Structure 1
Amino acid sequence: MRNLLQSVDDTLPGKFEITVEGIVHDLLSPNGRHELTVARLRKRLEKVMPEEIVAHTGRPDVEMEPEGIMRRPDIMVIAMADMEAQGAFDPRDLIAAIEVVSRSNPDNDWVGKVRDYALIGIPVYAIFDPRTGTGAVLGDIHATPEGPRYATRTDFVYGEDVTVAEWTIPTEGLPRHPAEK
């Protein structure tokens, strides 16, 4: 699946990821509000993090081949030194993954990635949902009979400060999606 996705990734619109259930294709490119949220979160994090840690957006993907999972978080909090390896990032090198919920496929962020990020060992997963102006920070992976899961969840509302890993940032002024009619 990985080779197929690499061959079509730049020729077809949207974003492709591999999950335990198969290929996820988010056909719609992120809109301006989504990208503005990502940019504001990245800048706010980088203001409070040490210089050797970055809030990276873009490529490469995060991949754990033995599990058959390849994802591309909106923001990856990672040490610069861990970015030097060739190929996809090892998910265990990430300090946190951050997603801004897609309007076209919210279950991918709230269900699929919650499952997959715990499974591949990303220690902190933060979700920002511009549809509702809310979010959650998940952490403390633990084993369950169904596989690894996040044990803690801290919910927040836009306007509150939120702690991602060890850094606290404001959520004031993050864009919201207009109400659907």
Structure 2
Amino acid sequence: MAVVPDHAKQGGSHLYRAMRDFVQSADDTLPGKFEITREGIVHDMMSPSGRHELTALRLRKRLERVMPEEIVAHTGEPDVENEPEGVMRRPDVMVIAEEDMDTEGSIDPRTLVAAIEIVSRSNPGNDWVGKVRDYPLLGIPVYAVFDPRTGEGAVFTDIHPTPDGPRYATRKDFVYGEDVTIGDWTISTDGLPRYQDESTAAADA
């Protein structure tokens, strides 16, 4: 992870636009994923693993089996962005009405039904700390975290105001194998892959 610090509010500033231009150009030339928070640029330096992407695929397919046809579980680009707040993120899975994707540029985060993240082995704090802070700020009503390191996760809901800004008031933890409710839909977490323990991988090599 690399962070370019800036503790002042960045929204609408020349600095924010410069960071956004850098992120958009770096996405095509450098490995990993770049996002912008109010503290600066966050870089997850490792490309997603196969098990990370398989988790996203299985979650997308399970959600789309139970959601109305007009709601999709989208993986990939574009980003969600709130320029006044100085935040640009790219959820692993966006639950969103298909018609709300019909836009130029970034997606308005307030149109998301939910955001889902699969925790990165290389930068877990980005999902468990940074996005728990940023997603209520962006107005995303439901945030679900799946952690293949531990086989656990949590769903955050109920945005409420605090002295430090909007925060989620409710957290429901789960373990792989249990059913989990994201928004109005409940899916199974059976069969979601786990990251292989590094010591086990070394022993097997």
TM-score under structure 1 length normalisation: 0.99
2:128 counterpart of 1:84: no
* Aligned pairs, number: 181
- The residue that corresponds to 1:131 in the other structure is 149
Larger displacement relative to structure 2 (128-137 or 171-180): 171-180
2:43 counterpart of 1:25: yes
Deviation at 1:140, TM superposition (A): 0.4
The runs of at least 4 consecutive aligned structure 1 residues that moved more than 3 Å come to none
Greater Cα radius of gyration, structure 1 or 2: 2
Deviation at 1:55, TM superposition (A): 0.1
Q: Distance in 1 between matches of 2:61 and 2:151?
A: 19
1:49-76 Cα offsets, whole Å, 9 max, x none, are 0000000000100000000000000000
RMSD: 0.6
2:92 counterpart of 1:74: yes
Identify the match of residue 9 of structure 1 among 15, 27, 49. 27
Identify the match of residue 65 of structure 1 among 70, 83, 94. 83
Secondary structure in 1 matching 2:170: strand
Deviation at 1:85, TM superposition (A): 1.1
Q: Distance in 2 between matches of 1:61 and 1:158?
A: 28
Deviation at 1:21, TM superposition (A): 1.1
Q: Which consecutive unaligned segments of at least 5 residues does structure 2 have? A: 1-18, 200-205
Q: Which consecutive unaligned segments of at least 5 residues does structure 1 have? A: none
- The residue that corresponds to 1:45 in the other structure is 63
Deviation at 1:117, TM superposition (A): 0.4
TM-score under structure 2 length normalisation: 0.87
Q: Distance in 2 between matches of 1:156 and 1:86?
A: 36
Secondary structure in 2 matching 1:123: coil
Deviation at 1:121, TM superposition (A): 0.6
Which one has a larger percent strand, Structure 1 or Structure 2?
A: 1
